[in-house]
């Protein structure tokens, strides 16, 4: 298995990690957030964190940080002047996208910077394949604010962006417009319901991107549990993914989920004619401690 970290970020930096927290720079602003995998001691003293951070996120007291479905609810404590919203940019070759960030009650801010390694892969794959075919259809499931959707659209693909949260879809649309792109199809729906219907209709895609949460709710209260539903999800992916000149990216952040789980799912549902590669995503902090940020598998045909 490979270990991959993005190397084209100017507007993001992992400054320090430790004590179950991470200190990050997003453009001109520095944030301190919980990080359950940072089990080692901080390299910088606590006073330096307090000096550097514009805001820090605190989870609700008494909530299990790993197991509870409410584990990410909390509040931001502003230590310096910082706007509720701001933007950062990411450039790669001729792709130039911008992300509108915000301090949400769940601790997320609108971008997962480690996914940049996949945005670059998406952009390169689609750019290359569109040289020998006219159209390229991409399905982005659990699409959040759409970094992968932006990369695919910037490369010239037709993109279907599926997420179960209406506010998140609105946020993603704003980011598309901020990036001076258009034409993404937005779908407010439970991802499993959507892909079931696509498989039933016989619709096909040249690429599928999925970054499922450990748990979640659909727009009508549908309950998603990764361990209960991911096998069916992958089965439908195998039905709707084109068998030639196509790819699939499957990311897993859930603690305790090995990269071998993704490999076994692919072996179960994609029988022959595919190539796979697995990697762990990470960022190094200034002290060169590598923070693991999930695993992913790429499948190509």
**Which one, of 169, 177, 178, 117, lies nearest residue 148 by Cα?**
117
Q: How large is the average pLDDT for residues 276-290?
A: 97
Name the residue ranges covered by the structural domains of the chain: 8-86, 111-300
Q: How is domain 8-86 classified at the CATH fold level?
A: Immunoglobulin-like (2.60.40)
pLDDT of residue 138: 98
CATH, domain range 111-300: 3.40.50.150
| Of the listed ranges 71-85, 181-195, 200-214, the one predicted with least confidence | 71-85
Structure-derived torsion over alpha carbons of residues 228, 115, 174, 172, reported in degrees to the nearest 10: -10
pLDDT of residue 52: 98
pLDDT of residue 65: 42
C-alpha span between 170 and 167 (Å, rounded): 5
Encode pLDDT of 102-149 as tens digits. Answer: 999 989 999 999 999 999 999 999 999 999 999 999 999 999 999 999
Whether residue 41 has pLDDT greater than 80 = yes
Helix (H, G, I), strand (E, B) or coil at 165: coil
Tokens of 180: 């001076």
Whether residue 23 has pLDDT greater than 60 = yes
pTM: 0.93
Encode pLDDT of 211-233 as tens digits. Answer: 998 888 888 888 878 889 999 99
State how far Cα 85 lies from the chain centre.
20
Encode pLDDT of 154-199 as tens digits. Answer: 999 999 999 999 999 999 999 999 999 999 999 999 999 999 999 9
Adjacency order of strands within the sheet including 207-210: 2-4, 275-284, 290-300, 247-252, 207-210, 137-141, 158-163, 185-188
| Of the listed ranges 7-21, 61-75, 237-251, the one predicted with least confidence | 61-75
Cross-strand pairs, 275: 300
Task: Count how many residues are written for the chain.
Answer: 301
pLDDT of residue 29: 98
pLDDT of residue 72: 54
Average pLDDT, the chain: 93
Confidence of residue 272 (pLDDT cuts 50, 70, 90): confident
pLDDT of residue 254: 66
| Residues 182/235, Cβ–Cβ less than 8 Å | no
Encode pLDDT of 59-73 as tens digits. Answer: 876 544 443 344 457
C-alpha span between 25 and 99 (Å, rounded): 14
pLDDT of residue 220: 81
Residue 215 has φ and ψ, to the nearest 5°, of -150, 160
Q: How large is the average pLDDT for residues 93-97?
A: 97
Helix (H, G, I), strand (E, B) or coil at 18: strand
Tokens of 173: 């649309």
pLDDT of residue 67: 38
């Amino acid at each position: 298995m490979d270990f991959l970290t993005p190397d084209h970020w100017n507007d993001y930096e992992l400054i320090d990690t430790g004590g179950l927290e991470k200190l990050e720079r997003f453009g001109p602003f520095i944030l301190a957030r919980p990080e359950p995998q940072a089990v080692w001691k901080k390299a910088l003293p606590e006073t330096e964190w307090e000096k550097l951070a514009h805001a820090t996120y605190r989870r609700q007291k008494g909530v299990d940080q790993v197991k509870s479905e409410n584990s990410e609810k909390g509040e931001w404590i502003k230590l310096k002047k910082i706007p509720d919203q701001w933007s950062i940019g990411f450039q790669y070759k001729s792709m130039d996208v911008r992300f509108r960030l915000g301090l949400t009650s769940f601790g997320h801010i609108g971008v997962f910077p480690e996914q940049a390694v996949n945005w670059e892969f998406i952009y390169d794959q689609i750019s290359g394949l569109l040289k020998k075919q006219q159209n390229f259809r991409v399905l982005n499931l659990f699409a959040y604010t759409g970094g992968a959707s932006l990369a695919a659209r910037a490369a010239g693909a037709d993109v279907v962006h599926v997420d179960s949260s209406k506010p998140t879809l609105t946020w993603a649309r704003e980011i598309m417009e901020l990036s001076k792109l258009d034409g993404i199809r937005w779908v407010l729906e439970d991802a499993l319901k959507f892909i079931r219907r696509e498989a039933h209709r016989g619709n096909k895609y040249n690429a599928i991107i999925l970054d499922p949460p450990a748990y979640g709710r659909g727009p009508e209260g549908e309950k998603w549990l990764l361990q209960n539903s991911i096998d069916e999800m992958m089965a439908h992916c195998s039905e709707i993914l084109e068998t030639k000149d196509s790819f699939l990216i499957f990311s897993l952040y859930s603690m305790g989920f090995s990269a071998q789980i993704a490999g076994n799912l692919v072996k179960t549902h994609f029988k022959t004619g595919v190539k796979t590669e697995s990697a762990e995503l990470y960022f190094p902090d200034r002290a060169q401690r590598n923070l693991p940020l999930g695993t992913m598998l790429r499948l190509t045909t």
